[in-house]
Chain A
Amino acid sequence: KQEVTQIPAALSVPEGENLVLNCSFTDSAIYNLQWFRQDPGKGLTSLLLIQSSQREQTSGRLNASLDKSSGRSTLYIAASQPGDSATYLCAVRGSQGNLIFGKGTKLSVKP
């Protein structure tokens, strides 16, 4: 059974810092991995999608990497801003198409 773990559960940083969020999964047989952002009480916004054949994806200040063999992904956020404060969720897609999520990392960026 696929399990997804995100560390840390919460993170507080001063504005301008670069930071890394970690995601690990137990079964390397994934189709893709998606990183989402969720603001309090809201739905999920897709940030980056990495296909199983890819090593990384970049969008603006965000960079996500994937190492299938070790069951790990990282989300790197450069020059963090208060507007980046949110919960970040990692999800892997299995053979049935549904996403399996971690519990998320709650990020707080202090001005």
Chain B
Amino acid sequence: DTGVSQDPRHKITKRGQNVTFRCDPISEHNRLYWYRQTLGQGPEFLTYFQNEAQLEKSRLLSDRFSAERPKGSFSTLEIQRTEQGDSAMYLCASSTGSEQYFGPGTRLTVT
């Protein structure tokens, strides 16, 4: 399978803990996006990388969120001091320009 992969698929954490998610894009896709989706809503954009450069960040990405894409390959999204409002599906997508291809998502539950 050469699609976008995300790890872990599910994460349950206690409020105040830090969590990190990983996304592996389709090989040779230079653009990588993170989105967040809550129940009954469409995904909302968080941040965007072109190669290793983080070019765009949404206002949704508070100071507790940080994302990296070292060497322009996989990406990580870290949430520090998690809050119950962070509970959501975190989706990663990659593209070469037009069509975006999504991974299966990481479901985060903060208790």
A contact residues vs B (CB 8 Å cutoff): 4, 31-32, 34, 36, 41-46, 49, 51, 89, 91, 93, 96-104
- B45 beta carbon closer than 8 Å to chain A: yes
Instruction: Kindly identify which residue among B4, B42, B56 contacts A98, using a CB–CB cutoff of 8 Å.
Output: B56
Interface residue SS majority, chain A: strand
How far is A74 from B15 in the complex, measured between Cα atoms in Å?
Answer: 42
B74 at the interface (CB under 8 A from A): no
How big is the B interface, by class? 20 to 34
Contact A91 B105 (CB under 8 A): no
30 contacts between A and B (CB under 8 A): A31-B98, A32-B98, A32-B99, A34-B99, A34-B100, A36-B102, A41-B107, A43-B91, A44-B93, A46-B99, A46-B100, A46-B101, A49-B98, A51-B98, A91-B42, A91-B43, A93-B100, A96-B55, A97-B33, A97-B48, A98-B45, A99-B33, A99-B43, A99-B45, A99-B93, A100-B45, A101-B43, A102-B42, A103-B42, A104-B42
